[in-house]
Chain A
Amino acid sequence: MKEWISKLAVASGPSGSETHVRDILAELIQPFADEWHVDVLGNLIAFKKGIANTGKTVTLSANMDEPGIMALHVEANGFVRIVPIGDISVAGLIGERVRFVNRVWGVVGVEAGKSLKDVTFADLFVDIGAESKADAESLIPVGTAGVIDRGSFELGEFRLAGKALSSRVGCAVLVDVLRKLEAYPHDLQIVFSVQKEPGSRGIKPAAFQSEADFALTVGSAKAGDTPKAERSNLVLGKGPAIKIMDRGIIVPPFIKDMLMETAEQHQLPYQLEVSADQASDAGAILLSRDGIPVGAVSVPVRYLSTPSQVVDLRDVEHASRLVLETLRRYHTT
Chain B
Amino acid sequence: MLLKRLTEAMGPSGFEDEIRRLIYEEVRPYADRVYTDPLGSLIVETGESKPGPRVMLSAHMDEVSLMIVHIEENGLLKFRPIGGVDPRILVSKPVSVGKQKIAGVIGAKAIHLQTQSEREKPIGLDQMYIDIGARSKEEAEKAVSPGDTAVFMTEYQEIGERRAKGKSFDNRVGCGVLIETIRKTFDIPVIYAFTVQEEIGLRGAGPVAYRVNPDMALILEGTVCFDVIDAPEHGTGTVMGKGPAISVIDSSTIANRKMLEHLVQTAESAKIPCQYRRVSGGGNDAGRVHLARNGILTGAVSVPTRYIHAPSQMISLDDYENTIRLVEAFLRSVEKGGLQV
Contacts and interface: CB of A to CB of B under 8 A. Distances in A.
A143 B255 contact: yes
B24 to A, nearest CB: 31
B60 interface: no
A13 to B, nearest CB: 13
A250 B57 CA distance: 37
A142 B254 contact: no
Interface in A35-69: 39-41, 43
Interface residues of A, number: 27
A142 B276 contact: yes
B275 to A, nearest CB: 9
Interface residues of B, number: 24
Interface string B274-301: 0010111000000000111111110000
Interface stretch (A80-88, A89-97, A162-170, A320-328): A80-88
Contacts of A6: none
Interface centre among B235, B276, B295 (most CB of A within 10 A): B295
Given A15-B254, A122-B235, A39 B278 contact: no
Interface in B56-100: none
A83 B278 CA distance: 9
A85 B295 CA distance: 20
B295 A39 contact: yes
B248 interface: yes
Given A75-B233, A122-B232, A83 B294 contact: no
A198 interface: yes
B233 A73 contact: yes
A330 interface: no
A40 B209 CA distance: 15
A122 B281 CA distance: 12
B21 interface: no
B176 to A, nearest CB: 27
B101 to A, nearest CB: 39
Contacts of B257: 16-17, 143
Nearest to B210: A208
Contacts of A195: 254
B260 interface: yes
A29 B235 CA distance: 43
Contacts of A143: 248-249, 255, 257, 260, 276
Interface in A165-179: none
B341 interface: yes
Contact of B248 (A75, A142, A206): A142
B293 A205 contact: yes
Interface of A: 15-17, 39-41, 43, 70, 72-73, 75, 81, 83-85, 122, 142-143, 195, 198, 201-202, 204-206, 208-209
Given A70-B249, A72-B249, A205-B295, 16 more contacts: A16-B257, A41-B291, A43-B295, A70-B248, A70-B254, A72-B279, A81-B278, A83-B280, A122-B232, A122-B234, A142-B276, A143-B249, A201-B254, A202-B295, A205-B291, A208-B293
Interface of B: 232-235, 248-249, 254-257, 260, 276, 278-280, 290-297, 341
15 contacts: A40-B295, A40-B296, A41-B290, A41-B295, A70-B254, A72-B234, A83-B249, A84-B280, A85-B254, A122-B232, A195-B254, A201-B291, A204-B295, A205-B293, A209-B294
Nearest 6 CB-CB pairings of A with B: A205-B295, A16-B254, A81-B234, A83-B280, A40-B295, A73-B234
